[in-house]
Amino acid sequence: MNKPRVRAALSAALTLAPAPGGFTVAQHAAAVGRLTGMAGYTIRQSAYDLRKLRGKNLAVKPGNSRRYQIPPDAARTIAALLVLRDQVIAPIIAGVRSPRMGRKPAHWTAVDRDYETLRIGMQTLFGHLGITTRASLAPAA
């Protein structure tokens, strides 16, 4: 999930999941190209990525068909992985490093409070693990 190509392959598979007859490797490669603008993404890379998804039970290839299908449970798993990485984990990690300077907002939403609690918890976790951020490495004034 940390590599852009894998995330692109997952997103393309998720967009093609509703296709009633499934989708081909060429359709998957075209969808990755459309979604990411990766002009060099080939059918061979797409086939490799789909084999990896099959190995993780996120895609199935029924019978002797050349088409792939994404089962409903796998589609939910893929969507959850993509949303968690893009909407939850990435903002938390981005916010851990930056110290909060200035005034706090006058009105906090529930989401703001949750992110702030997670940010502080991540700083505590990093302290327990011995991981320091650049802000904590700076000499005290």
Bridge partners of 60?
69
How many CB atoms are located within 10 Å of the residue 95 CB?
17
Q: Binning pLDDT at 50, 70 and 90, where does residue 128 land?
A: confident
Alpha helices in 1-141 (DSSP H): 4-16, 25-36, 43-55, 72-83, 90-97, 110-129, 134-137
Q: Which domains, ranges and CATH numbers included, belong to the chain?
A: 4-71 (1.10.10), 98-137 (no CATH)
pTM above 0.85, yes or no: no
Write down the pLDDT at residue 133. Answer: 54
